[in-house]
Amino acid sequence: MSSDQKALEQEALESLDAMSTVPKLQGPVGRLIGWVDTCFLTLAVLALIAIAGTVLLQVCSRLFLPISISWTEELSRYLFIYMVALSVGVVMRQNRNISVELFHHMLGPRMKAAFQALICLMIGVFAFLVLPYAWQYAQNGTWQTSPTLRVPMLYIFFSTVVTYALLLLYSALGCLEGILAMCRSSAPREQES
């Protein structure tokens, strides 16, 4: 890909998402985080494929078999829950979550970084406060099993722990990236003076 195409692609991305201009971590740490992101996204995509297969099996069983398979609806529901839980951190890191963008495009690079750090800090505090209660909720599933699959509900309820743990981890990462970007943005200005 030529440098002109990359520049156009970056400009198009920035016009769609003003917060994408905050630089991500680079080097070995950035590659490790990228690998972890890829792992979580791969698991989420596998869950999505499994949902599609399960729903297709359910439709085929209702149309072509004399009996309807009862466990497919429950399995697709649990797969959907884990798909969301596994992808929540990566979605937050890539700024693909739902947000209201009224003024982001008017902010300079340093203010965008500060805004990202603030938002990630608020999400991280919320996840930190909720995480112990998510663990208590998950423990409620130790004596319950799902109706048709007979899976201990601990595994299903544990998705809340995964969700808030990933939100906490990725919000700390986003806050760190925002703070580092603020420091980098101020360094060239100081050198110019």
Q: Looking at residue 16, what is its pLDDT?
A: 54
Q: How far is residue 35's CA from residue 97's CA, in Å, rounded to a whole number?
A: 20
- Average pLDDT of the chain, as a whole number: 85
Identify the pLDDT of residue 190: 44
- In which band, very low, low, confident or very high, does the pLDDT at 24 lie, cut at 50, 70 and 90? confident
pLDDT tens-digit readout, 146-191: 999 999 999 999 999 999 999 999 999 999 998 988 887 555 544 4
| DSSP collapsed to 3 states, the chain | CCHHHHHHHHHHHHHHCHHHHCCCCCHHHHHHHHHHHHHHHHHHHHHHHHHHHHHHHHHHHHHHCCCCCCHHHHHHHHHHHHHHHHHHHHHHHCCCCCCCCCCHHHCCHHHHHHHHHHHHHHHHHHHHHHHHHHHHHHHHHHHCECCCCCCEHHHHHHHHHHHHHHHHHHHHHHHHHHHHHHHHHHHHHHHHC
Residue type, 74: E
pLDDT score, position 27? 84
Count CB-CB contacts under 10 A for residue 64. Answer: 7
Tell me the C-alpha distance between 164 and 92, whole Å: 12
Whole-angstrom distance, CA of residue 141 vs CA of residue 13: 43
Show me where the domains of the chain are located: 32-185
